[in-house]
Amino acid sequence: MTTLDANPAFTQRVFSGIKPSGGLTLGNYLGAIKPWVNMQGPDFETIYCVVDLHAITVWQDPKELRAATHEVVAAMIASGIDPDSSVVFNQSQVAAHAQLGWIFNCVARVGWMNRMTQFKDKAGKNAEQVSLGLYAYPALMAADILAYHATHVPVGEDQKQHVELTRDIAAKFNHDFGVDFFPKTNPVIEGPAMRVMNLRDGSKKMSKSGESDMERINMLDTAELIAKKFKKARTDPAALPDNLEDLKGRAEARNLVDIYAGLSGTTPEAVIAEYAGAGWGQFKPALADLAVAKLAPISDEMRRLMADPAELDQILGKGADKAEAISRPILDQVYDIVGLVRSR
């Protein structure tokens, strides 16, 4: 077995990304950005990416794509991601993603892609008409992660299957070429609000591109709009019980309790202990106040940062240089393993 440098410098490297496919939601904040902030520190090298190549798997207006890219980087920084200690960049500026993505298209099997539930959800009955990119998306996501030999990928519950596929692609590559090159990647899914649900239908996840704006809380929503959306959020007539078991079968109620726990940094058990017996007339305004208290300072800072897109572009450019320096030697080794000639 040929053994090439497995993990060049860091054995604990975090990679994660967000698509600039519309306004960021509370789901993106609680399921991704907040945990990313917490992973910064001495234990990990952290790499956070605005995955614009994933965004264009569905139609994006070019002007809006640029604005959404700026919104994502502004949200990261306003929430506490430090671009000097983390690598913050947009995917399309680092060619290794697309280059390794193509190689993984040739490693992954069509049958694996057919099992991806997110593709089925997003394509729906329209599977013949969606882009080939949407279908191949998980191979590009594997490349995003493995171009850095990332070992940890913090994601919301919805992305777990894609991180598992990344492990399958890495294992098949290692096996096919007889190397021990790509590491095993671990999804990190920790916290009470890793699957924030739609406010009007507790069986669907909260998404940027959901049909109605009333289904989601956007990070840039005003205090009034946040209060209105929680007030109108679908619930049931019963009050909050005194234990979590009794929330079974009450998806919308459970979602609001989880959101409260995610925002306050406690557990759903602690929320239930505090609000046992409370009706929605009491709980919803408390939740709205909490959401505004947490989100308003972030959205104010986002607006300030978004007013200077040139500064945001500079951050993305510097981050892309750092990302390039890590991923280029890994991609070079992949070319050598695969037998692609590098003569310049």
Residues classed as catalytic? 122, 205, 208
Q: Which DSSP letter does residue 339 get?
A: T
CB 206 within 8 A of CB 25: yes
Minimum distance of ligand AQP from residue 218's CB (angstroms): 11
- Interface residue list for ligand AQP (CB under 6 A): 18-19, 21-22, 25, 27-28, 31-32, 51, 155-156, 158-159, 194-196, 205-209
Tell me the helices (H) and strands (E) count for the chain, helix number first. Answer: 14, 5
Minimum distance of ligand AQP from residue 58's CB (angstroms): 7
| Of 31 and 319, CB closest to ligand AQP | 31
Which residues in the chain belong to E strands, given as ranges?
13-18, 45-50, 87-90, 152-154, 186-188
| Of 20 and 319, CB closest to ligand AQP | 20
Minimum distance of ligand AQP from residue 131's CB (angstroms): 13
- What torsion do the CA atoms of 238, 242, 243, 247 make, to the nearest 10 degrees? 10
What is the separation, in whole angstroms, between the first and last Cα of the chain? 27
List beta partners, residue 218. Answer: 25
Minimum distance of ligand AQP from residue 85's CB (angstroms): 20
CA distance 325 to 316: 14
For residue 118, give Cα distances in angstroms to 61, 104, 121, 136, 260: 23, 19, 5, 12, 26
Beta-carbon-side half-sphere exposure of residue 191 (alpha carbons within 13 Å): 29
Question: Which among 14, 7, 19 is positioned nearest to 53, based on CA atoms?
Answer: 19
83 contacts: CB under 8 Å, gap ≥ 6 = 77, 315, 318, 319
Amino acid at residue number 23: G
CB 27 within 8 A of CB 159: no
| Of 49 and 337, CB closest to ligand AQP | 49
Minimum distance of ligand AQP from residue 35's CB (angstroms): 9
Minimum distance of ligand AQP from residue 307's CB (angstroms): 23
Minimum distance of ligand AQP from residue 30's CB (angstroms): 6
Phi, psi values for residue 186, rounded to 5°: -110, 125
| Of 21 and 299, CB closest to ligand AQP | 21
Question: Which among 138, 152, 147 is positioned nearest to 15, based on CA atoms?
Answer: 152
Q: Which DSSP letter does residue 58 get?
A: S
